Chain A
Amino acid sequence: MTDTQGWHEIFEVAVPAVSPLDPDLILAHAPPERQHARLRLVPIMATITAVAIIAAVLTVVLPRPGSKSAPSADNARQDYAALVLRPGDRVDAWGSIYSPDGRSARFCDPDEGVATAPRESLRCYFSVPITGVDLHRLADRQVRGREIRGWAHVDGFWTGTGVRVRRQTAALPAAERPDPQLPTACTPPPAGWPQQSQVGPITYGPLEAYARAHPGTVIVPSVYFPGPDQKVVFALVAGDAEPARRILERAYHGSVCVVASRYTRAQADAAAAAFFGHISKLITGGQGSDVSRAGQLQVTVQAVLVTPELAHRAERQPVGLVHLDPWLSP
């Protein structure tokens, strides 16, 4: 592991998850015409009374509750075209409902709205129009002036421009943050993964030393905790994994999993750029270099829905590298 990656992991864990800012709060402070005077913003924490528990942090990809398409898939070929939402498709999803005026409503991607800090407006951004929704039957219903927002599970169909509700249940999201699971490519030794209390503390030292001696070999380092007192260092390596495995298994007394990468770092970077390089009102989050359940590089793209264009973009990438995770899917 390189020094940069080691420090990144420490800071990634240490820095708290936070909620995105409210764009309208920023826009409310913008002067009507461009001016040179420095503006003093009211510290926004003064208006925030709750601690955000789950944040839309792009560096952490979590499965959406109820997602039909778990982010950590196995790099199998995903049928992107089958994910494209077409008029008449049935939609079965939960999210928050937002109405600006008590009449019209939008269905909001839950990635944006789970337990975020209170804002000046109840409005959401990653959303689609919704009709036929009962604004009185929402879980955790909030009313501010004419605005209404609350949670619902919706069974309906896609009209081409929005969701038409057939059935609606007031339901709160059951957001869970699962522990990352050891990739399926990692099989334990016959006696099981060693206990740290028996083999001694497992550090990144040997992996760092290996990476230094073999530059460019270790594509992704990671660490997993398959059980109490168990820690497994994971290394996704370029080329033949056998030399790395031989050296690292000795150094780690078996508490290591070395997997040969199917993809290069450059391929993952190019795929990530194809999705995250531009402002999109459809893409809500993702991860440029996730590790899939199979233990391979994976670019996970969370989106409101999959359009034919988005599916086409995914099809142009190496097979199995891109995982589309739409909120609304057929």
Chain B
Amino acid sequence: MGEDDLEEFRAFVMARSASMIRSAWLMTGSEATAQDLVQSALLTTWQRWSTLRDQKAAEAYTRRVVVTTYVSWRRRRAFHERPTQTVPDLAADDLVGRAELRHDVAAALALLSPRQRAVIALRYLDQLTEAETAAALGCSIGTVKTQAARAIARLRASPALDLDPRRVPR
């Protein structure tokens, strides 16, 4: 691959990796693991770069790799998730309200299956359509709907996540 490919890939990583890490954070609950996951997926994307010529295709492919890698890490038990009692990856300057919400969201998400967490991240953080989410997960739209409904029902029932909007800080 040539210098143009390198520059395009660099621009793609700079522009989109932060968004993908945030999505992976919802799946893993850990910024460090999310970064490893996205880095790993982007390496795979780079190896396919010559066939992924536009940002949408590259992003869709990378998200697919993120999800499949995340699920496979969980299967291999190489990924150790802690249903957290402490706030993960808390920045020192965080507002208290934001930190509490982050803690509670992480605790509530720990109750979900890997696929449900992936659906939540793609549908509700990244705001992908059901079709795009299905493509990223490699499943049918019906499965996305079912998984999303079950995940949301579990989150609503989670004692960790009080959904009073007053708790959503600005």
Contact = CB atoms under 8 A, between A and B. Distances in A.
Contacts of B92: 51
Contacts of B25: 15-16, 18
B10 A179 contact: no
A21 B42 contact: yes
B18 to A, nearest CB: 5
A125 B7 CA distance: 8
A225 B8 CA distance: 40
Contact of B18 (A10, A43, A56, A201): A56
A7 B13 contact: no
B55 A276 contact: yes
B102 A112 contact: no
Contacts of B19: 57-59
Contacts of A3: 152
Most buried by A among B14, B21, B42, B165: B14
A143 B25 CA distance: 32
Interface range, B side: 35 or more
A13 B22 contact: no
Interface in B34-93: 34-36, 38-40, 42-43, 46-47, 54-56, 58, 89-93
Most buried by A among B10, B25, B55, B91: B10
A225 B165 CA distance: 13
Contact of B54 (A14, A34, A57, A278): A278
A278 B14 contact: no
A166 to B, nearest CB: 29
Contact of A15 (B13, B15, B22, B55): B22
Contacts of A22: 13
Nearest to B37: A41
A144 interface: no
A182 to B, nearest CB: 11
A39 interface: yes
A13 B102 CA distance: 8
A281 B17 CA distance: 15
Contact of B93 (A25, A53, A204, A278): A53
Nearest to A180: B170
B43 A30 contact: yes
Most buried by A among B7, B8, B34, B39: B39
Interface of B: 6-19, 21-22, 25-26, 31-32, 34-36, 38-40, 42-43, 46-47, 54-56, 58, 89-94, 98, 101-102, 104-106, 120-121, 123-125, 127, 152, 155, 163-166, 168-170
Interface of A: 3-4, 7-27, 29-31, 34, 39, 41, 43-45, 51, 53, 55-59, 112, 125-126, 179-180, 196, 201-204, 223-225, 231, 276-281, 283-285
> What 7 A-B pairs have minimum CB-CB distances, sorted nearest first?
A45-B32, A23-B10, A23-B13, A14-B105, A7-B124, A21-B17, A11-B125
16 contacts: A8-B127, A11-B105, A15-B25, A16-B89, A16-B91, A20-B18, A21-B42, A27-B9, A43-B36, A44-B36, A53-B91, A203-B164, A277-B56, A279-B58, A280-B15, A284-B14
